[in-house]
Amino acid sequence: MSYLAKIGVEKERRLKVATNQTTSFLWDGENVLSTPSMISEMEETCRLLVKEECIVDSEWDSVGTLVNVKHLAATPVGAEIVLKAKIVSFEGRRVLFEVIASDSLERIGEGTHERSMIEVARFRQKFIEKQKKLGLK
């Protein structure tokens, strides 16, 4: 499989914060975008960037291997957020991204995320073998 990550390539996604993406412990009713949900959306933005720009074979994808993100500000349900990912380095199958999340008022998150490109069938086979070794299949 050949792939090439281009340094500086960017992707932007917009979405509205949904109730299933919030914390549930601060107060009753709708709450704020949770850190895990923000990171999940950052990771998906990076994954889509890799799929669109770096991987030409549909049997390949990428998985997250490192997250270093700061959650800077609270964002309420219903607010639109903008997620940005930019490729900053590429070595072998590993791609490092700069990630930013903002709402219409301020930056709400920033950091880096690394993904590793994988052949899905091979990755799945190793996963199934692990399930068996753990007695889960």
Residue 65: C-alpha distances to residues 20, 43, 61, 117, 130 (Å): 24, 10, 13, 10, 18
Q: What is the number of residues in the chain?
A: 137
Catalogue the active-site residues: 35, 43, 71
Domain boundaries, the chain: 10-133
Please say if the pLDDT value at position 44 is more than 90: yes
Could you name the CATH architecture of 10-133? Roll (3.10)
Q: pLDDT (tens digit, 9 = 90+) per residue, 82-124?
A: 999 999 999 989 999 999 999 999 999 999 999 999 999 999 9
Predicted TM-score (pTM) of this structure = 0.92
Please say if the pLDDT value at position 29 is more than 70: no
